[in-house]
Chain A
Amino acid sequence: MPNSDSAFHPSTQDELAQFVATNAASERRPLISIGGGTSAPKCSAENGIEVCLDQLNRVIDFPARDMTITVEAGVRIADLTQILKAENQRLPIDIPQANQATLGGVIASNWSGPRRYGCGTMRDYVIGISAIDATGRQFKAGGRVVKNVAGYDLCKLLVGSHGTLAIITQVTLKLRPCLETSSLVWMAFDSLKQIDAAIARVLNGATRPIAIEVLNPIATRAVRPLAAAASLPILCVGFEGATKETQWQAETLINECCPFEPRSVETLSGSDADPLWAALTDFPIKNSSRTFKVNRLPSQTIELMQRATDLGISAKGHAGNGIIWGHYPSGSSSTFLLEGTSEPRLWEELGSSGDWMRRVKQQLDPQNLLKPGCLPIG
């Protein structure tokens, strides 16, 4: 039973299922899934109950030699990372506030960071999922093996569903081995335009980056305030692998970028690179003012970042993916300075697929109990 009127911390999946079933049959209060609670609630339903998964944090099975793990969704990312590291394995998704954030929250919000260019996103790692629907029904999809096409892929449906379709209770992940080392090449340029040209070269160059990050000068100051040339736009490229391999790539990349006249070049490797990886990962959350995320074609990243820069907006792009994060300056009054950064608020704004999404939601949650009024959007 709820330990307070507005928050419920189940200690088992069955207990949660029962609670949800009782709610659906009686009071029908809105249910808001909460993992670590690191993302500011976007919508608060009147009379809602927070379903907190922090106690559902058991490791169900870790057959390390199969490189998969099955855990409950409330496991903290930092704990998961430790468990995996003991077997020299990892989930290569960059997550801020790992001490607090939970696996379920990361999956529900489809969070990702710089490594997504080389390592992909959550949808590439979730191979099995268990969840509870709005009526308390427990269901699962996928399985515990790395390759499996039996049944509809509800894993994909729940990744990025933001708690609007079901409460994720248990997950099986496909894992990757830890690599020997990583490095980041940090290059300052006079203009974003030069960075655009450099990127075009890098994309067809000899190296195989796992991260291609671009920062405008305002973002640079937030990410690395003490770096030289902190007032210039930055191209920051990451590599992972054997030491010999990352060294060779860093050197090769720098040579390839030379013709575009970087003002300064710095390579951080191994543990020296870790703080910068963390700063790049944390950028989206490193500001209390309004944050936005937009998706474009990769080749359109720089143009959007230039417009942000002209407007004094801090912006950082995963330039290989076309994902741009930004923060409006605090106190800015106009609703959306930068065209195209406002989030859809209605299903109709989600293009031709919005109507199908609405129907999926209606079908799986006809009473509209799971985060009512929220679109599955971060």
Chain B
Amino acid sequence: MTLAPPKSPAESAAATKLINRLREIVGEDGLLYRTEELLVYECDGYTVEKKVPDVVVFPTSTDQVVAIVKLCNELDVPFIPRGAGTSLAGGTLPIGGGVMITLTRMKQIIEVNLRDRYAVCEPGLVNLHLTNHLKETGYHYAPDPSSQGACTIGGNVATNSGGPHTLKYGVTVNHVLGVEAVMPDGSIAQFGGPCEDSHGYDLTGLFVGSEGTFGICTKVWVRLTRNPESYRTLLGVFETVAAATQAISAIIGAGIVPAALEMMDQGIIGALEAAFHFGFPLDAGAVLLIEVDGLEVAVEDEAVRIEDLCLQHGAREVRRARSAKERLLLWKCRKQAFGAIGRLSPSYCTQDGVVPRTKLPEILEFITDCGKRHGLRIVNVFHAGDGNIHPILLFDERDAEQVQRVLLASDEILTKCLDLGGSVTGEHGIGVEKISFMNKLFAPADLAVMKQLRDVFNPDNRCSPGKMLPTAGGCGTESHPHKSHPGRRAAL
């Protein structure tokens, strides 16, 4: 828990003015500013760094967002958009304080057009609520982050979220046709829209994944996807992680693109079994959750081929979900895997590295060694088909020394991903957590071009400062995380 430092009289006067002016825009019930109320907003799913905003506002319309942003410009205070706060990268950390614009009250589904395969929704809509809304239509919204029961479409757009089924269907950007945004200067822009191939640069594609640094998304046009006719959901049980990764390579190598291909290691299986009593084999080294979907005439053959490939590569057995209910239970286990971790440890930190699929055995071995070296327990549940690992480092955040080991081990794992030709984030984003890796991933020229683009949209860097791009020079600036974040300072 971090309390805001005491304010000087001038700061207090400025804060009061800010709050009074915001109250005029959103009303008293659209506003939080008391210290104890703000604590909820001191961090998101990344708990290592903490900082409270000066005030949290809950706009209910694009016009209110415009007014808030204009006010922030007028008073020269930073502002940052927030959805559900499930970011695992500290994306919503309010560097430099300021106004947190939380979009959860803008959650309408504005339009559903099945004939033209799109829906228009507000940014605060919870991902799963869209798919639930579409239940009887035969369509769904394809990107399905494991956090979909909580995270918002706006947050998904900002982080370009993936999920288990993005192996076949693609990530958020592949399903976003257009966005409306309140730009950092307070103007409203629309990029793209319901029609494909709109003229000019693909600013929709550029906006997606910009982690709140290009503006505040206030409306999204998403592509809807037909539900598959049939599924086959398999659980391949392997003695070792190595054998399971061999099977993955074999499946993909055979030209099969499953809808999803997820791996869970022994550590996570134990936690899941304790939580859900599915009947997972507790002695298995790893299980693969594999789903193929499509037409009934095709899926059975694919499932049989996958079964054969798994058995050829050392699977002890391959089970099948025998009913729709069993399938849903399997997916519930997978998607709530992080939730089950509470049974293993008070805190955890999930990494999001990516390696070329064929390098999975190497990185997983490295993670095991790394855990041993640092005396940390690490469990794995991840999007194996994409090579997107999610090692979960277990720790107790009250123990500063442990926190430090977690940070060191995370650094080593991500560095190894880079050495293997991969990336430090497949779907969670850079946020503040991985900002120091940007210099390793990209050359100065690459970052300079990215900064030029940020300067186009966010020239004063008042919108989500300190995110995504490292600050030039490294230290001495106020937004440098080591200086401004008591959480990290304490940890290091």
Contacts and interface: CB of A to CB of B under 8 A. Distances in A.
Interface of A: 63, 65-68, 88, 110, 120-121, 123-124, 133, 137-141, 143-157, 159-161, 165, 176-179, 200, 203-204, 206-208, 241-242, 244-245, 248-249, 293, 295-299, 321-323, 343-344, 350-354, 356-357, 359-360, 363-364, 375-377
B94 to A, nearest CB: 21
A107 B447 CA distance: 22
Nearest to B249: A65
Contacts of A66: 356-358, 387
Contacts of A344: 199-200
Interface of B: 113-117, 138, 159-160, 162, 166, 170-171, 173-174, 183, 188-192, 194-206, 208-210, 226, 229, 249, 252-253, 255-257, 294-295, 297-298, 301, 354-358, 383, 386-388, 421-430, 434, 437-438, 441-443, 445-450, 452-457, 468
Contact of B387 (A145, A244, A299): A145
A116 B254 CA distance: 24
B252 A141 contact: no
Nearest to A122: B202
A299 B116 contact: yes
Contacts of B355: 145
Nearest to B434: A150
A368 B253 CA distance: 46
Q: Which of B188, B206, B358 has the most CB of A within 10 A?
A: B206
A206 B230 CA distance: 11
B354 A147 contact: yes
Contacts of A146: 354, 357, 386-387
Q: Which of B138, B162, B294, B456 has the most CB of A within 10 A?
A: B456
Contact of A297 (B195, B197, B356, B387): B195
Contacts of A143: 421-423, 441
A151 B358 contact: no
Given A153-B205, A177-B257, A293-B197, 11 more contacts: A67-B357, A139-B443, A139-B448, A144-B356, A145-B421, A150-B423, A151-B468, A321-B197, A343-B199, A351-B190, A357-B201
Given A145-B356, A146-B386, A353 B209 contact: no
B358 A139 contact: no
B449 A139 contact: yes
Contact of B449 (A154, A160, A322): A154
Given A120-B174, A140-B443, A156-B205, A149 B428 contact: yes
B387 A208 contact: no
6 contacts: A120-B170, A138-B445, A155-B205, A299-B116, A375-B200, A376-B200
A53 B357 CA distance: 31
Contacts, number: 242
Nearest to A132: B445
Contact of A139 (B159, B387, B446): B446
Contacts of B356: 63, 66, 68, 144-145
A68 B226 CA distance: 27
B203 A357 contact: yes
B387 A150 contact: no
B28 to A, nearest CB: 33
A153 B446 contact: no
A143 B424 CA distance: 11
A252 B253 CA distance: 31
A352 B446 contact: no
Nearest to A297: B116
Given A65-B249, A295-B195, A157 B201 contact: yes
Contacts of B295: 206-208, 241, 245, 248-249
Q: Which of B190, B205, B452 has the most CB of A within 10 A?
A: B205
Contacts of B447: 151
Given A147-B386, A149-B425, A323-B196, A160 B162 contact: no
Given A139-B446, A295-B198, A149 B138 contact: no
A359 B297 contact: no
A297 B301 CA distance: 36
Nearest to A143: B423
Contact of A295 (B160, B188, B197, B249): B197
B354 A148 contact: yes
A111 B316 CA distance: 47
Contact of A151 (B116, B354, B430): B430
Nearest to A116: B196
B210 A152 contact: yes
Q: Which of A66, A148, A249 has the most CB of B within 10 A?
A: A148
Given A152-B468, A153-B208, A157-B205, A321 B196 contact: yes
